[in-house]
Amino acid sequence: MLLPSTVLLSIFLAPAVNALWPLPQQLTTGSTPLRLSNGFDIKFKGINNPPQDLKDAVSRTEKFLSNDKLQALVADRGASSASQIQRAKQLTSLVLSLDSTGGHHKRAADATANTNSLGNKIKSISDEAVAPIGQRSEGYTLTIPADGSAAVLSANSTLGLFRGLTTFSQLWYDWNGNTYTLQAPINIADYPKYPYRGFMLDTARNYFPVDDIKRTLDAMSWVKINTLHWHVVDSQSFPLVIPGFESISQKGAYNSAAVYTPQNVKDIVSYAAARGIDVLPEIDTPGHTSIISKAFPQHIACPEAAPWSNYANEPPSGQLRLASPDTASFTAKLLSSAASLFPGNTFSTGGDEINQNCYADDDKTQKDLKSQGKTFEQALDTFTQTTHAALHKAGKVAVVWEEMALDHPVTLRNDTIVMVWISSENAAAVAAKGYRIVHAPSDYFYLDCGGGGWVGANTLGNSWCDPFKTWQRAYSFDPVANLTASQKDLVLGGQQLLWTEQSSPSNLDSIVWPRAAASAEVFWSGPGGDSAKALPRLHDLAYRYNQRGVRAIALQPQWCALRPGACDLTA
């Protein structure tokens, strides 16, 4: 996407707007200093009884404005602007309003319902966040005059207002207790290029406490990421407590404290939704399920068989006995119960890295295949149809990894969402089959690559997806590369991913941030940005994250961060 020249000029010639990430679709700025008054507040106009999560979002924004205290990333940290700041006019308020054209709002059922001034029912941020993909309204307009008159943030949804509050909180710096910008007036009209902007966290290889997940959700919301893809269980551990199947987590979690109870899940899902984030859970099937054998051994083929490399992509081996009708029914019930914990309308059944050696050496599976007169692929098709039918009955859209669309002739519903992970080049083949796509390619978006091989007895081993995936690499991604014009609409968006064989709470922030912000901008603003020109804004974001308690890593020496462009190879 080519940005208007006014946008490029206002961003790249004006350090004070280097804070904005992701880049708005339309942005114009001036050169007048403006500061927030001591009594600055955020008000509602024409919104009767605002939803509580919107009021909470306003409160958080006001705290950011008071507590960020981020000095401008220039050599003198803003000292040379002190006199301008002191003389600047003061902004006393930001007014939030909902457009009367918000057609997705239904008429209020009674006089006590939350309404805007026209009587239209107002949905909460949380309700808007879990609407089906493509039905969420996230756009907003923001106007900040230079004369000190009220700034106005307008949207046709509370979710849009929340996105605008996020942008507003990024605009300001601190000098000697004054919260200011040097670039009023500021006018922004903004909306996402793609409806799905995600981050995947694996909590099975290593366990992450609820507080770490919440901090990650906060950080995601600050760059308008709207989906947590929660790879919650795997072969190594099963921390999710599923009603009716509690014995799996009792026997399959690392310990009794390393679990996510239904109340934990409700807490995480509610916390996410209030920050404009939907939770997409994943229970991978039929592979990556060895741990289920601890509670239900009858359903798992080749549990912990050795050598593991013959039977799985990583230890321990073990897969659901897909040819068994009893196992298919068990899995369908398991997924249905798990799905009831999550209000969003998507649920991933995985489907990656199925190892046929495991089934070839499993007597029970071979007997089932023979008695049914089925091949492995036919059994996989039946298994998939059974499990996906259960999810569909529960009101969920199935999400799968790319193998289910490309490597196995299974029957998938037309609305199935396919995550492309093995290679970015495989997106075209998925699109050719007509499925909607979420980009998650290991050659661009895997945050765990480049850390060295994690399996033992492999002294000189590298990670399978070397090299390290830099933020610049992710930022260069083109979501519609090699797609035809008619296929481009199949792209829902994309995400960066953290598989956690070598990650834990101790390095969560540093391995994710600010790198994961790269894809957040690609799928909000659109591709084609210049990483050299984006770097000052990403520095600013990382510094602001640290001010807010997220330990984002440094991208360069501070000397470079304070002197945009001075450390470029061409400088």
Residue numbers annotated as active site: 353
Q: Can you tell me the distance from the alpha carbon of 95 to that of 43, in angstroms, rounded to the nearest whole number? A: 5
Between strands 178-190 and 26-45, the pairing is antiparallel
For 103-126, letters b (16+ CB in 10 Å) and e give eebeebeeeeebbbeeebebbbbb
| CA 319, 323, 325, 326 torsion-angle sign | negative
Q: Can you tell me the distance from the alpha carbon of 423 to that of 543, in angstroms, rounded to the nearest whole number? A: 32
For 253-286, letters b (16+ CB in 10 Å) and e give beeeeebbeeebbeebbebbbbbbbbbbbbbbbb
Nearest CA-CA partner of 99 in 37, 23, 33, 153: 153
Residue 299 and residue 246 in contact, taking contact as beta carbons nearer than 8 Å: no
* Three-class DSSP category at 474: helix
* Three-class DSSP category at 353: coil
DSSP-assigned states of every residue in 515-569: TTHHHHHHHHH-S---HHHHHHHHHHHHHHHHHTT--PPPSS-HHHHTSTTTTST
Residue 229 and residue 199 in contact, taking contact as beta carbons nearer than 8 Å: yes
For 41-60, letters b (16+ CB in 10 Å) and e give ebebeebeebbebbeebbeb
Two structure tokens written together for 524: 């909000």
Residue 453 and residue 459 in contact, taking contact as beta carbons nearer than 8 Å: no
Nearest CA-CA partner of 25 in 555, 561, 526, 399: 526
Residue 283 and residue 229 in contact, taking contact as beta carbons nearer than 8 Å: no
Q: Can you tell me the distance from the alpha carbon of 526 to that of 305, in angstroms, rounded to the nearest whole number? A: 46
8-state DSSP, 27: E
Q: If residue 377 lies in a helix (H) or strand (E), which one and from where to where?
A: helix 376-393
How many other C-beta atoms are found inside a 10 Å radius of the C-beta of residue 485? 7
Nearest CA-CA partner of 282 in 331, 227, 346, 327: 346
Distances (CA, A) of 239 to 103, 236, 297, 340, 514: 41, 10, 18, 17, 28
